[in-house]
Amino acid sequence: MNISEAKSLLAQNGIHQLNKGESLADALDHVQNGSLRKGYKFKRDDGALMTENQIIQHENGVAFSKMVTPKEYVSDEVEDIDDITDSNNYREDKTKRGIATGCYYCGTSIRIDSGDSDEDYDVHEPEIHCDDCMNNAIANLAM
């Protein structure tokens, strides 16, 4: 595909101006694969320049939409319970063996307290997560 074909394809899909920091390949990837557009917008759809406050408002909207996008559940597959290190050991009662489960977001194996017995264990917290995912969530929400 040459440049004129790429420009006409973008124009047919309503993209007449690249975002600041966005390449032609990024815009084509957005049109063909539906990926998010890169860079930040500095012109309105009609071509008029945006003020600095309008740019900030637009970027805050994009950041907010990314922030509230729910994470996808990974899996329940876990390592052997004896292989889980202390950093992923979330048991309050260290005298009991506990059970192994996966982090809701990244799937890392973590060790948690079991119920009264391992057979009738009921998940008390449906979204158990590791410290790394919690720190990542805090960092994303604080931005």
**What is the model's pLDDT at position 41?**
67
Report the C-alpha gap between 91 and 103 in whole angstroms: 14
Which residue matches tokens 């408002």? Answer: 57
Report whether 105 contacts 133 (CB < 8 A): yes
Please write the tens of the pLDDT for every residue from 23-82.
888 889 889 988 877 776 667 777 777 777 887 887 787 777 766 656 666 555 666 777
Report whether 47 contacts 17 (CB < 8 A): yes
What is the average pLDDT score of the chain?
76
Candidates 93, 95, 97, 100; CA nearest to 123 is 100
**What is the model's pLDDT at position 52?**
78
Burial classification of residue 98, based on how many CB atoms lie within 10 Å of its CB (0-12 exposed, 13-18 middle, 19 or more buried): buried
**What is the model's pLDDT at position 120?**
45
Show the tokens assigned to 15.
């993209």
The neighbour count for residue 79, using CB atoms within 10 Å, is 15
Q: Is 111 helix (H, G, I), strand (E, B) or coil?
A: strand
Where are the chain's structural domains?
Answer: 3-67, 81-142
Report whether 111 contacts 94 (CB < 8 A): no
Please write the tens of the pLDDT for every residue from 70-123.
666 655 566 677 777 677 788 888 788 888 888 877 878 888 887 654 444 445
